[in-house]
Amino acid sequence: MTTSTQHDLEARLNDLFDHIRNGRIMDAMNEFYDEHVVMNEPAYGDTVGLAANLEREQGFVDSVKEFKNFEVVASGVGDNVTFYENVMDWISQDDQEIHVEQLVVAKWKDGKIVHERFYYNMG
């Protein structure tokens, strides 16, 4: 399958949300991201390839003491693209409360994310 139907992408996106809500972030990386994925974040720029993204994401997971909330505010599915707006709250290992509101846009191929960009305020 070269292209994914909107229904298939909506199901994949909802599965991704379930992984995140259940604290299975690293499993989600392996399940939903292509080997050559490029992830773009304001704090890091482009991270290229699944291996590099797994390493970066593990650093994030290791920095979290307690995951408090993951709420999807809005989401949408188009032609091999998804977006979602979410709110996340967690407590860092140094007991700092973190609150992030972000928009995530992902491009998909063969049921896997090949490019993902995060939009959030660094302030």
pTM greater than 0.85: yes
pLDDT in tens, 78-112: 999 999 999 999 999 999 999 999 999 999 999 99
pLDDT in tens, 6-58: 889 999 999 999 999 999 999 999 999 999 999 999 988 999 999 999 999 99
pLDDT in tens, 61-84: 999 999 999 999 999 999 999 999
Per-domain boundaries in the chain: 6-120
Distance CA 14, CA 19 (A): 9
Q: What is the pLDDT of residue 5?
A: 85
Residue 4 has pLDDT above 60, yes or no: no
Residue pointed to by tokens 């392996």: 30
- Give, for 31, the enclosing helix (H) or strand (E): helix 25-32
Distance CA 12, CA 121 (A): 27
Question: CA 43, 81, 10 angle in degrees (round to 5)?
Answer: 110
Q: What is the pLDDT of residue 3?
A: 52
Written as one letter, the residue type at 11 is A
Question: CA 65, 61, 32 angle in degrees (round to 5)?
Answer: 145
Q: What is the pLDDT of residue 121?
A: 84
Q: What is the pLDDT of residue 110?
A: 93
Q: What is the pLDDT of residue 108?
A: 97
CATH 3.40.50.10420 applies to domain 6-120? no
Burial letters 28-46, b for 16+ CB under 10 A, else e: bbeebbbeebbbebeeeee
Q: How far is CA 1 from the centre of its chain?
A: 23
